[in-house]
């Protein structure tokens, strides 16, 4: 509901039609999709007292979850660059972050998510499973599925995982460098209010990003049998469910422009009802 509120407010309020809120709306769309891939099926199984999912449904979960998580990560990288330009090069912001550039960056994030997801899903379809059909997770997760394989074909998927993690680490280095420049610039701001505003827009982004990267890399890089299923479950919740929940809190409840827009739209709706 929080993500849907952000999407609605940004779409209806033309004052929020800026690059930062354009990327935030894309992030909210991704968050709605990613949490919808796993939670409804898990809730349905719980309510119906079943623990089953079809093979096609499992593959579909893998594809869309990796697609949306990948797009989420690349979009967070783009948002870090947006904040870098806004804070470190404010005079060039409108020229660099023009409408065309923002659309291309957002499209690139979505396309990168599709590519990563396609590589993983294609490999999973080629793998044969012969060690049972029980996945110790509340959704179909590649590390858990690899425990059920009995052939050397899983090595290809391991290579794709290493490639994906390497790409994530490269993006993380880019983001860290961006934030080092941002923090260095912010510390030079004489106004305490200016420093607070700059940090308030960057720290929530950095928090969600760190949570996504650390838990995601841990889940996919750990040894297949090195941790208990309980810890696997906790890690999966951290990288698949917490970011979509935290983003509305970070970007709406702490954002004065979003809150003002919500109150304005609420007042307009009440006036039309009366």
What confidence tens digit (pLDDT) does each residue in 202-217 have? 777 777 778 888 888 7
| DSSP symbol at 253 | I
Residue 5 to residues 102, 221, 256, Cα–Cα distance (Å): 22, 35, 15
- The pLDDT assigned to 198 comes to 67
Please give the Cα distance from 117 to 61 (Å, whole number).
Answer: 11
Evaluate whether 258 touches 20 at the Cβ level (below 8 Å). Answer: no
CA neighbor of 38 nearest in space, from 64, 2, 7: 64
pLDDT at 185 over 80: yes
Percent share of the chain, pLDDT over 70: 87
Q: What are phi and psi of 129, to 5 degrees?
A: -110, 125
Question: Angle CA(118)–CA(38)–CA(164) in degrees, nearest 5?
Answer: 35
Please indicate whether residue 170 or residue 152 has the higher confidence score (pLDDT): 170
Q: What are phi and psi of 54, to 5 degrees?
A: -70, 165
**Most confidently modeled range among 53-62, 130-139, 255-264, 265-274:** 53-62
Please give the Cα distance from 130 to 144 (Å, whole number).
Answer: 13
Q: Which residues of 5-29 are buried (b: 16+ CB within 10 A; e: fewer)?
A: ebbebbeebeebebbbbbbbbbbbb
Q: Which CATH superfamily is domain 26-255 in?
A: Rhodopsin 7-helix transmembrane proteins (1.20.1070.10)
Q: Helix, strand, coil shares of the chain as percentages rounded to 5? A: 80, 0, 20
What confidence tens digit (pLDDT) does each residue in 79-122 have? 889 989 988 888 899 999 999 999 999 999 999 999 999 988 88
Residue 206 to residues 32, 64, 92, 172, Cα–Cα distance (Å): 20, 24, 23, 10
Go through the chain and tell me how many residues it has.
274
pTM metric for this prediction: 0.85
CB atoms within 10 A of CB 160: 16
- The residue ranges of every structural domain in the chain are 26-255
Position 68 confidence tier, pLDDT thresholds 50, 70, 90? very high
Work out the average pLDDT over 154-164: 77
Evaluate whether 69 touches 243 at the Cβ level (below 8 Å). Answer: no
Question: Angle CA(249)–CA(250)–CA(253) in degrees, nearest 5?
Answer: 55
What confidence tens digit (pLDDT) does each residue in 188-199 have? 776 777 677 667
What confidence tens digit (pLDDT) does each residue in 24-58 have? 899 999 999 998 998 888 888 888 888 888 888 88
Q: What are phi and psi of 172, to 5 degrees?
A: -65, -40
- The pLDDT assigned to 235 comes to 84
């Amino acid at each position: 509901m929080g993500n849907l509120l952000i999407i609605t407010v940004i779409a209806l309020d033309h004052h929020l039609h800026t690059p930062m809120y354009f990327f935030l709306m894309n992030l909210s769309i991704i968050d709605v999709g990613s949490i919808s891939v796993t939670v409804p099926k898990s809730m349905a199984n719980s309510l119906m007292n079943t623990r089953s999912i079809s093979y096609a449904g499992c593959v579909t979960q893998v594809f869309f979850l990796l697609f949306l998580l990948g797009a989420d990560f690349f979009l967070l990288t783009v948002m870090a660059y947006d904040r870098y330009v806004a804070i470190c090069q404010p005079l060039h912001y409108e020229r660099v972050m023009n409408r065309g550039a923002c659309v291309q960056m957002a499209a690139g994030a979505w396309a990168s998510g599709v590519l990563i997801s396609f590589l993983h899903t294609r490999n999973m379809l080629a793998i044969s499973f012969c060690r049972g059909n029980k996945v110790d997770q509340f959704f179909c997760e590649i590390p858990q599925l690899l425990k059920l394989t009995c052939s050397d074909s899983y090595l290809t998927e391991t290579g794709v995982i290493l490639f994906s993690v390497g790409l994530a680490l490269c993006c993380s280095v880019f983001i860290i460098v961006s934030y080092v420049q941002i923090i260095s610039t912010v510390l030079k701001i004489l106004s305490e209010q200016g420093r607070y505003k700059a940090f308030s827009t960057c720290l929530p982004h950095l928090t969600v990003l760190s949570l996504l990267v650390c838990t995601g890399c841990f889940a996919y890089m750990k040894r297949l049998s090195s941790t208990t299923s309980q810890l696997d479950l906790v890690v999966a919740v951290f990288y698949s469910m917490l970011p979509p929940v935290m983003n509305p809190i970070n970007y709406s409840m702490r954002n004065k422009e979003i809150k003002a827009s919500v109150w304005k739209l609420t007042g307009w709706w009440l006036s039309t009802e009366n």
